[in-house]
Amino acid sequence: MSPLVCCFLERVILILKSIFEYSDDRGNRIVYEGATMEGKITVNFRGINNTLKVGQGNHFDFFSALFDCDNGLIEIGNSYCGLSLSAFIRVGQDSSVEIGDDSSSTSMVNISAAEGSTVRLGNKVTMRSSNYILSDDSHPIFSVLDGSRVNSSRDIHIDDNVFLADGVAVLGGSFVGKNSLLSRNTVVKRTIPNNCLVSGSPAKIVAKNVSWENTVLLK
């Protein structure tokens, strides 16, 4: 399947509307074993030497991958449980987004890594809707006193079996430990230990030594 090719600001842009094993002469590639995945899918290569790796068993209700620059990586692990992931994922220069096995979302989430940063999600990370996981602020901000940059991109690590409720934002420099829960509309820009319930903007720990199960309460 051939990509749509266009030019913008002297960059060659390659747009694919499905996920299948792919490589081109610009070093961009999709690493995927399985039947072609079609639907609401867009893979946009705007640079060179970018890689999308998709594990087996994945199902995307909506998926958009944007490689804005060069040497980017998006890697999505295997899905053994049949859960779906809906996401818009952007990677910038020398940046990566790595998502572990059986991680899922109930609606579209936004993930961005730029300026050489890494966003890493562990296994069985459960996201709800309107979640933002952003290593960068989209635009640089500078001090008017000395011209120094005040908002450089920073890595994000969300460990295994973390739950993100509706409206949660996880920002650059954050670490969220295993089995922790981020309640609705929480904004995280700090380290959260394992097994914590977190709430608020900015995030505060409201309970420790807790965990959760990915089951629905029917009673």
Blockwise average pLDDT, block size 10, the chain, 219 residues = 58 84 95 92 95 95 95 96 92 98 95 98 96 92 88 96 97 98 97 98 96 70
- Residue 209's CB is within 10 A of a number of other CB atoms, namely 10
The CA-atom distances, in angstroms, between 31 and each of 15, 28, 108, 113, 135 are 16, 10, 23, 20, 25
Mean of the per-residue pLDDT values of the chain? 92
Amino acid at 114: A
User: Quick check: pTM over 0.85?
Assistant: yes
